[in-house]
Amino acid sequence: MRGPHNLWRLIRTGATMERTGAMTQAMDALDAPRAFRILARTVVWPFRWLGYKGDPNLPPLTRAITALGPAYIKFGQILSTRPDVVGADLAKQLQVLQDRMPPFPRDAAIKTVEAELQAPISELFSEFSEPVAAASIAQVHKAVRADTGQAVAVKVLRPGIEKAFRTDIDAFYFLASLIENLSPASRRLRPTDVIAHFEGVVHGELDLRLESASASEYAANTAGDEGFNVPAIDWALSSKRVMTLEWVEGIAASDIDEIIAAGHDVTVLGPRVLQMFLTHALRDGFFHADMHHGNLKIAPNGDIIALDFGIMGMLDEYTRRVYAEILYGFIKQDYKRVAEVHFEAGYVPADRDMDEFARALRAVGDPIFGMDATRISMARLLSYLFEVTERFGMQTRTELILLQRTMVVVEGVSRSLDPHINIWEVSKPVVEEYIKANIGPKALARDLWHTARVLSRFGPRLPQLAEALLIAQSKESVAPVAQSNRWQVLWLIVGGIVSAGIGAAVMLVLG
């Protein structure tokens, strides 16, 4: 139900922020204008008593977010990786949201495990610990398999989490519709589509069978990546609300002091996190889309261990090539090419001025090119990027939302490990390698060869299809429009055969 009753949820959100003291803290962190502060307080203050009290032992903003529910917690997790946007103190407070949420009782977890796996806990595990990590949607227990003695991690969904998320998502939809109706200029950002995309991602997190499949695919893709590991899934002890995987030891990526004390080189780990993300996004088109500190560990041998595969991103080949060319253009400071790619992909309306757009992009890229992270304000950069997209009428690309959000999160993790990281220099080798392999003559030959393979499946039927089209064309009763359509299909078949031949020939020449 996405009706006006959700207005109550939004009022309670503001009231909770005010009651817990989070409103002032958030305004200070975001450096909100005085007029906006006054307006917000004036609207919210009369409803203060309706807000959730939350846990008084937590800092104000963390207290408000945890009281409001899982969708708000997800948003807080993203902010926790952006100390340059919300401030170091606030970012540190929000890190609690990543893997140190209040757990639910062990007995409730055991009930879920027994119901899902249809066996007494004693038959499944010889040991089943208290929660070792608790996040917004699920928590993890360390256990030992009764039959093999192998140490495993057992992830269990929170009781009632599906209903709680449904409530939050409905309120978000209502807010998105209000924004679109009250502010026509916001429609280019497609708020409702953004929420729909987020809803789809969250539903994937609420079915641990899908997460298990994602983890298995991710492990297969990254098996050869040096310095990066994914725990193996135990399919026999996994279901919709329970997931079991091998237990791995390591230091949480947020414990920087402990990582350094263990002898790990953070100037190596920081770039590796960013490069691994780019490699998986570009090379595989399948990447970890929730790569915050709480989902990463540093193994004793220095490997990066990825955890929690509920949110994974996918990019088709075309989108990956567009994304790589845009990144490569920024790295090379070739803003004209970056602008061309935006227009070619349809990201910017064709009636806008390409040269003017290229100059606007230069104003974004040049000031930060060559700077280390300590001198870059991502808050100002993102603010200016938003102005550019609004000025040139760019619509929100739902297929890139997850990629863009994750890029921000991953860059924040990398910066926390190595504050002086240069994101352009770190990205350059990964993007260049992808460009060489996927854009150029070899890529064209591979595309044509793929076309040949697809058409080969219809090989035995091509003569009959062509003959049928010619017979239909010869009949006087065929309408001109239908004739035109049939000739288009015929030329498509002929063109496909020619393309297949060219592809095969080029592949032979290139070896």
Residue 72: the pLDDT is: 80
Q: CA-CA distances (angstroms) from residue 160 to 26, 37, 443? A: 29, 36, 49
Residue 10: the pLDDT is: 76
Both tokens of 480, joined, read: 């001109």
Instruction: Output the CA angle 211-203-121, nearest 5 degrees.
Output: 50
Which parts of 17-146 are beta strand (E)?
125-134, 138-145
Tokens 């729909």 belong to residue: 196
Q: CA-CA distances (angstroms) from residue 394 to 23, 61, 252, 348, 401? A: 31, 33, 38, 5, 13
Residue 232: the pLDDT is: 95
Catalytic residue among 170, 290, 308, 418: 290
Q: Is 290 a catalytic residue?
A: yes
User: pTM, whole model, 2 decimals?
Assistant: 0.72
Distance separating alpha carbons of residues 442 and 439, to the nearest angstrom: 8
Rounded to 5 degrees, φ, ψ at 228 are -140, 130
Residue 395: the pLDDT is: 67
Rg (CA), the chain: 26
| Helix, coil or strand: residue 5 | coil
Both tokens of 487, joined, read: 């000739």
DSSP secondary structure code for residue 346 in this structure:
T
- Distance, C-alpha 161 to centroid of its chain: 21
Residue 507: the pLDDT is: 46
Residue 104: the pLDDT is: 93
Residue 239: the pLDDT is: 96
Three-class SS of 20-55: CCHHHHHHHHCCCCHHHHHHHHHHHHHHHHHCCCCC
Per-residue tens of pLDDT for the chain, all 511 residues: 555 666 777 788 888 888 888 877 777 765 666 766 676 677 777 777 788 888 888 888 888 888 887 778 876 766 665 555 566 677 777 766 765 677 999 999 999 999 999 999 999 999 999 999 888 789 999 999 999 999 999 999 999 888 888 878 887 788 777 767 766 655 665 677 767 776 777 777 889 999 999 999 999 999 999 999 999 999 999 999 999 999 999 999 989 999 999 999 999 999 999 999 999 999 999 999 888 888 999 999 999 999 999 888 888 888 888 888 887 888 788 889 888 988 888 888 888 899 998 998 888 778 766 666 666 655 455 556 656 776 787 766 656 666 776 777 888 889 889 988 887 788 889 888 888 887 766 666 666 666 666 666 666 666 676 667 667 666 655 444 444 454 455 444 555 544 445 444 444 444 5
Residue 129 and residue 153 in contact, taking contact as beta carbons nearer than 8 Å: no
Distance separating alpha carbons of residues 72 and 378, to the nearest angstrom: 22
Beta partners for residue 229, in sequence order: 305
Q: What is the DSSP string of 395-434?
A: PP-HHHHHHHHHHHHHHHHHHHH-TT--HHHHHHHHHHHH
Q: What dihedral do alpha carbons 26, 31, 35, 36 form, nearest 10°?
A: -40
27: nearest Cα among 70, 64, 73: 64
